[in-house]
Structure 1
Amino acid sequence: EARTALEPVVCRIAAERIGEDKLLELKDSVDRMQQSVETADIDTFLETNKQFHDIIAWSTGNALFGYMTDALMRITGGTVMGVDHPAALRKTTLKAHVSIYEALSNHDTDLSEDRMRDHIKEYARYAERKFPEVLSQVLPWNQALGG
């Protein structure tokens, strides 16, 4: 719920404000994710997934969005909570990231927001379906931050 509420709005704001330098970083993240999907490199996939969302949040120019997204990605990105990322999910995530990148590169606020919302909801549906017990757990703060 937290990511569904926050990230689409953050993506809308980023679509208005994102500069060419951040678009290049985002494209590099998408390209690296594609390579990780092709080579089944889960560590690079997870790294680029987090990086993608962080770049978007920091592109708003609002540090609070950056910090909040970073914290949410650390908690809900899967590995801390025990959610795995099989090949099909990695491919779906890559497709979503490409479509979000395209919307952001066109500075299309509505489309950027919609595509991010769809992406987050799709991941939430996957996690709820495959790992319902994980989502109902209380996660200690030190574990959430990898401590």
Structure 2
Amino acid sequence: MQRTPPRREKSSFLLAETILNDILEAHLEPGDPLPPEKEMVEKYGMGRTTVREALRLLEYQGAIQIRQGLNGGPYVQAPDSQHFAKTISFMMRMERTPFEAIVEVRSAIEPMICQLAAERISPEALDELERTITGMREIFHDRGQVAAFNDLNTRFHSVIAWSSENPLFHHLADSLHGIMDGAVVGMSYSSRRYLGVIADHQLIYDALRERDPDAAYQKMALHLTEWEVYARRNFADALKRPIP
């Protein structure tokens, strides 16, 4: 049987990797400028089109920002979870992955993240978690503030993920939480469910404040299990739908 020859990488992909390596080796920080396009053409011995494609690839991945205007050009940028989420979401959409797959992954990793956070969380992060719980209580009765409530909920989980001091856990948890926004598959929550979220967050916060890894793991696992039970009881069809 004839072997399929290995696919050759496009020159722009290879150049993007080279530029990224140069950024890392030069210890450039977010906000630092890269050489102008003309200099890159000469430095790398590539055509202008290839250089532009490579820069666009890096911009899409969040590694650089291409600014316009008098002081325009490529600048180093710190990628955030949105870029990670965009890639994951694209792959899942291509495979028509159901919404419940995200639920399963999040339920598997977030208790572990919370367990690590209990050992490593800073006093400042604890204060931030407490503020999100206070804010959720204050806006609970104003149903017009659902978006604000959800933002605080996302912030709560993000602070815990950051506090694990594992960047991969943080970006993965943030990405999954963003994709899991129930609004994209028609989910909505009752007043009782919102109160349940606040109560669960308080229990998780208490475990983190006490720096009790086992309790933090258990409280986060229970929180996610309660959400999943609610979703399967009320939105079973939505969970089976491919991520839009």
TM-score (norm 1): 0.91
| Residue in structure 1 matched with residue 121 of structure 2 by the alignment | 18
The structure, 1 or 2, with the larger RCO (C-alpha pairs under 8 Å, 6+ apart) is 1
* CA RMSD across the alignment: 1.0
Return 69-78 or 107-116, whichever deviates more.
Answer: 69-78
| Residue in structure 2 matched with residue 30 of structure 1 by the alignment | 133
Do structure 1's residue 6 and structure 2's residue 124 form an aligned pair?
no
| Residue in structure 1 matched with residue 228 of structure 2 by the alignment | 124
- Aligned partner (choices 116, 136, 141) of residue 240 of structure 2: 136
| Residue in structure 1 matched with residue 181 of structure 2 by the alignment | 77
TM-score (norm 2): 0.56
1:75–1:81 Cα contact (<8 Å) kept: no
- Give the percent of matched residue pairs that are identical in Structure 1 and Structure 2: 34
| Residue in structure 2 matched with residue 145 of structure 1 by the alignment | none
Cα distance in 1 for partners of 2:105, 2:117 equals 18
Deviation at 1:77, TM superposition (A): 3.1
| Residue in structure 2 matched with residue 100 of structure 1 by the alignment | 204
Which 4+ residue blocks in structure 1 deviate beyond 3 angstroms? none
Structure 2: which amino acid aligns with 1:132?
A
Deviations 1:76-100 (A, max 9, x none): 2312222112211100000000000
Deviation at 1:58, TM superposition (A): 0.6
Paired residues in the alignment total 140
| Residue in structure 2 matched with residue 50 of structure 1 by the alignment | 154
Return 115-124 or 66-75, whichever deviates more.
Answer: 66-75
Gaps of 5+ in 1: 141-147
- Aligned partner (choices 163, 173, 188) of residue 59 of structure 1: 163
1:30–1:98 Cα contact (<8 Å) kept: yes
Return 7-16 or 60-69, whichever deviates more.
Answer: 60-69
Deviation at 1:7, TM superposition (A): 0.5
SS in 1 for 2:119: helix
